[in-house]
Structure 1
Amino acid sequence: MIRCLVVDDEQHAIDIMKHYIGQTNFLELVSSTTNPVEALQTVITENIDLVFLDIQMPELSGIDFIKAINGKAKVILTTAYSEFAIEGFELEVVDYLLKPVRFPRFLTAVQKAVKLINDKPAVAEPDTSNEADYIFVKTESKGKLLKINLADIEYIEGMKNYVAIFIGGKKTLVYTNLKDLINHLPAKQFIRVHKSFIIPISRITGIEGNMILLKSVTAEILIGENYKADLMEIIKHKMIS
């Protein structure tokens, strides 16, 4: 099965692609979204093979999106504007579908993608044995995206409509919430320990009462009762009694 993602700022365009994918037995729709920033995180965390991508979107254009994913998935562009075709093919997209997209033309593009995905040399396959090592986040500055290396994160704290990601003692405000963010972080590397805190497991240096001690962190990180069992489940496998 070819794992697919649909990205378009118009819901009706998404619905058409979803219908076509549903009619094609070798395609699997993993997700669809009108938010290109969210889509970037999905490509990173969900092992996507093929992206159906609009070009003209707010905050992040399709061309910028292709550059950001850096070959992690094949891309079929979908747009009402033909003038972007040359730039798209320079970025090695599979095909370029002009809206309104017809099903026979959709199938032609998909067949090209299948051949490219299945014929990909083994040396070019991405290493899926390791978790993703970075995420893209939407900061408090309008239209600004920031790449965050997961290994640099000291801890993450919820702050009303934002979360603060602490790196090197400094915080970056990100327009999201802890519930959504934890879903885009590798479960083997990060754990939510409180309604207000997510921490990297590798930085835990100790536990004192209801507080967690983290490497290079002086802030008080509390353990919430609702999260304690999950934390202890991880720790007990390393505990010598």
Structure 2
Amino acid sequence: MHSCCQFWCTPNFHFWCIVSYRLQHAIDLLKEHITHVHFLKLVGTATNPIEGLAMIADLKPGLIFLDVQMPNLTGIEILKLIGNDCRVIMTTAYKEYALEGFEHAVVDYLLKPIPFLRFLKAVNRLWTIQNNIRPVNEQDHYVFVKTEQKGKLLKIDSRRITYIEGQGNYATIHMNDRRKITAYLKLKELAEHLSSKGFVRIHKSFIISLSHLTAVEGNMVRIVDEAQSIAIGEAYRKEFFEMINTKLLSVPPNNPTD
């Protein structure tokens, strides 16, 4: 058996979720986790992945909570069928499927039995992603980069890039699912291409996504889910802080209590 649920995070923010079909206690555990998160709401279940696909097509979900091993269709096969139309958090007892799942840009990969704190981290990551992404045209979401493998181009959803680190003629692209993609590109080329997509260069070696920027602390910035801060290079500080000041909210000096 597997179940489906819909999440509500903000107005008009819809999520369908498919979870484990075989073990009832795994389903019950996820149901219990959902009850403890204020922006999640369980609205229904399906016992067959084909029926689940029909529900997904009908409801046009924002998220699928997807098991890997299911009858008739595997979770990986469902990922290929639904494409990039919705977010996916995968759940399974088999960690060997994680790499293939991340190749389909899943939000997270949870191993059963799923502890509540790990579950909470996954759904909070989704909350952060959703609330920081500004709508853009569909064709603007994706970029293609040359990889270390000769002749291979990789398609990347630019909304999921948190920051980029330059290393000579190569760049390491950090994704919000913890993947690191090495691309044969100079940081200058990336900065020019991504500036219109909400990215800014803050150091000779770093470009950051403003959507994933969580704080500015002196001459350092913090990126969501990253333990280490990134320094703002001296040559980039003036332009960066001028941009930040355009978004700064402050109380007018003559109206301190308004």
User: Given the two structures, how large is their TM-score scaled by the length of structure 1?
Assistant: 0.48
Between the two structures, name the one with larger relative contact order (CA 8 Å, sep ≥ 6).
1
